[in-house]
Amino acid sequence: EAGVTQFPSHSVIEKGQTVTLRCDPISGHDNLYWYRRVMGKEIKFLLHFVKESKQDESGMPNNRFLAERTGGTYSTLKVQPAELEDSGVYFCASSLAAVSTDTQYFGPGTRLTVL
């Protein structure tokens, strides 16, 4: 069974440009999460989808970030326009059911560098 996949693995863009990150969860997982780690900081939660609905987006840093999950399958995270402080590694995770015993499985991450 394929795990969580993310694309691209690396992205280097200039300040002011737009970047779109993609996450494909494990097949059948209704829950999809985005996290990120900026340099020297802890991994932080960004948002949570249940199918195509945003359950919790309390961790989204500002309105330059837009996450979508059309059809409840893969998700995209768009940063527009990108700023220097957006550099970091963006992780996606998925789980079968949003209950306390449910395990989240993480993807390999997308390393974003904003110059």
Partner 1 sequence: DAKTTQPPSMDCAEGRAANLPCNHSTISGNEYVYWYRQIHSQGPQYIIHGLKNNETNEMASLIITEDRKSSTLILPHATLRDTAVYYCIVRGRYSGGYQKVTFGIGTKLQVIP
Q: What residues line the site for partner 1 (CB under 8 A)?
A: 4, 31, 33, 35, 42-45, 48, 50, 55-56, 59, 89, 91, 93, 98-109, 111
b/e for 81-115, b at 16 or more Cβ within 10 A?
ebeeebbbbbbbbbbeeeeeeeebeebebbebebe
The smaller minimum CB distance to partner 1, of residues 17 and 105, is found at 105
Angle at 17 between CA 14 and CA 23, to 5 degrees: 105
Q: How far is the CB of 31 from partner 1 (least distance, A)?
A: 8
Q: How far is the CB of 27 from partner 1 (least distance, A)?
A: 17
The SS3 assignment for 71 reads helix
Reading the block at residue 92, the tokens are: 């996606």
What is the DSSP code (8-state) at residue 105? E
The smaller minimum CB distance to partner 1, of residues 17 and 96, is found at 96
The rounded distance, in Å, linking the Cα atoms of 96 and 30 is 6
The smaller minimum CB distance to partner 1, of residues 57 and 68, is found at 57
Q: How far is the CB of 13 from partner 1 (least distance, A)?
A: 19
The smaller minimum CB distance to partner 1, of residues 74 and 106, is found at 106
Q: How far is the CB of 67 from partner 1 (least distance, A)?
A: 14
